[in-house]
Structure 1
Amino acid sequence: MKRIYIIALVFIFAACGKGGNNSAPAPGKATLVAPLKDLTCNTGVILSATESSVAFSWNPAENTESYDLTIKNLLTQKDIVQNTPTPNATVTLLRNTPYSWSVTAKSSKSDTKTDSEVWKFYNAGAGITTYAPFPAELLTPTFGQVLPSGTTKINLTWKGSAVDNNITGYIVYFGPNSNPDVFRQRVTDSFVNDVTVSANTTYYWRIVTVDANNNISDSGTGNFFVK
């Protein structure tokens, strides 16, 4: 009987130890500060004709030991990830290039990671007086989404933004080919509704954003499948 009691205690202590990380408070959400959202970053230290160092900062998050700063080049879609124990970091980036950035709060006491909002900015370049729009963010259908059988109509939605707030329209490319043809031109809304689709077909789409200075940006190609 005594042996059974000891074994039961071992199981209890083991179970308590296993659940320790899950019972700790989750890290809070970091609030982004700089570079500012949807604006040109002119405060970086110029290192060369092509690069500058950019200072990132955010408000500290509760119950957090370290942060992952993730910076995405919106032209190449490549990420730079830098871990830091402080709510700031300085990173070397390409000039005259659009980026997005976000912060993930982490703690060794919790299995939960908490993501901040995602902000975009344009890292200024030499002699640039106007800037191309940010590449549009494809919203729905999501990348790789599988739509149920019986679907015959879908809505394409996206989000566009520009430093100069001067977007004049969008060119929508859509079709069953991996390099889709122009589907709509001079679209001034950020959606196209009631697009006809067929079963057992993969569709591809992308958005080209045009501004008042005839600068353009390309979202890159998304795809989805209709059962």
Structure 2
Amino acid sequence: MKKILIAFTVSLFALGSCSKDDSGNGGGGTGTDAAVLSSPENNSECTTGTEVSATQSKVTFQWAAAPGAQAYFVYVKNLNTQSTLQFSAGANTSLDITLTKGTPYSWYVNANKTGGTTVASAVWKFYNAGDGVSNYAPFPADAVSPLMSSTIYGPTITLQWDGSDLDNDIVDYKVYMDTNANPTTLAGTVTTETLANVAVTSGGTYYWKVVTTDGAGNTTASPVYQFKVF
């Protein structure tokens, strides 16, 4: 994946000027028992974080209280590295977290309740603003079907995923799939989020990933997903 801050032209966005998608979609629990996320906003490309250094800023995470919650834990995933960090917020409904600039993240909140039950919120994505960014690389694609580690029937399957890009300029998706843990065989290049009629062999274990390309030439690879065939 190209580094987000390399080869970009002069910034069109100031740190205080943000756009967002208010759909709230992103998976996870969205019921009345879950914490309701509020900030950083879903699919937002910049935040009102406080400058920490040339490479980091402090971002305030906020959410509405979940009924009966005794404590909250915030999970923040770096979508470039796929590494997730856990932060304890105690009984508070906000938490300041220092993050790397110019990096895509996802986040959600677990509400721990009386009796030991835990309810997860929706999962939201955002970019922590970097300097000099005029076009953002796509978010890594999320597998829809087959799900990770699932077992399905052949002899042909349909691969499906969710792709998203803050600039809405996705050009195509390249799908790689084979029996290697790091697949290198191009199964197809499509402009939709579906690749149909992919041949598989009974008893095989397959690995697949999606590389998303946008109009500025930025590419982002998804995690590698795996499934088995009956």
TM-score, normalised with respect to structure 1: 0.83
Per-residue displacement from partner, 1:58-87 (whole Å, max 9, x unpaired)?
111111111111100111111111111111
Pair 1:134 & 2:143 matched = no
Q: How does 1:1-227 map to 2 (within 5 A)?
A: 28-84=33-89, 85-107=91-113, 109-148=114-153, 151-180=154-183, 181-185=185-189, 187-227=190-230
Could you tell me whether the CA contact under 8 Å between 2:44 and 2:127 is conserved in 1?
A: yes
Which amino acid in structure 2 is aligned with residue 206 of structure 1? Answer: K
Q: 1-side partners of 2:86 and 2:203: how far apart? A: 38
Q: 2-side partners of 1:41 and 1:65: how far apart? A: 31
1:19 equivalent in structure 2:
none
Q: 2-side partners of 1:199 and 1:136: how far apart? A: 26
TM-superposed CA distance for 1:140, in Å, is 1.2
Q: 1-side partners of 2:46 and 2:109: how far apart? A: 18
Which amino acid in structure 1 is aligned with residue 134 of structure 2? Answer: T
Q: Which has the larger radius of gyration?
A: 1
Q: 2-side partners of 1:129 and 1:76: how far apart? A: 22
Structure 1 stretches of at least 4 aligned residues deviating more than 6 Å after TM superposition? none
Which amino acid in structure 2 is aligned with residue 98 of structure 1? Answer: P
TM-score, normalised with respect to structure 2: 0.82
Identity %: 39
TM-superposed CA distance for 1:152, in Å, is 1.1
1:4 equivalent in structure 2:
none
Q: 1-side partners of 2:64 and 2:47: how far apart? A: 21
Secondary structure at 1:138's aligned position in 2?
strand
Q: 1-side partners of 2:168 and 2:55: how far apart? A: 25
Q: 2-side partners of 1:190 and 1:42: how far apart? A: 29
Per-residue displacement from partner, 1:108-140 (whole Å, max 9, x unpaired)?
x22321111000001111111111010111121
Figure out how many residues of one structure are paired with residues of the other and give that number. Answer: 198
Between 1:129-138 and 1:176-185, the stretch displaced more is 176-185
Which amino acid in structure 2 is aligned with residue 222 of structure 1? Answer: Y
Q: 2-side partners of 1:81 and 1:42: how far apart? A: 20
Unmatched 5+ residue regions in structure 1? 1-26
Which amino acid in structure 1 is aligned with residue 135 of structure 2? Answer: T
Q: 2-side partners of 1:49 and 1:94: how far apart? A: 9
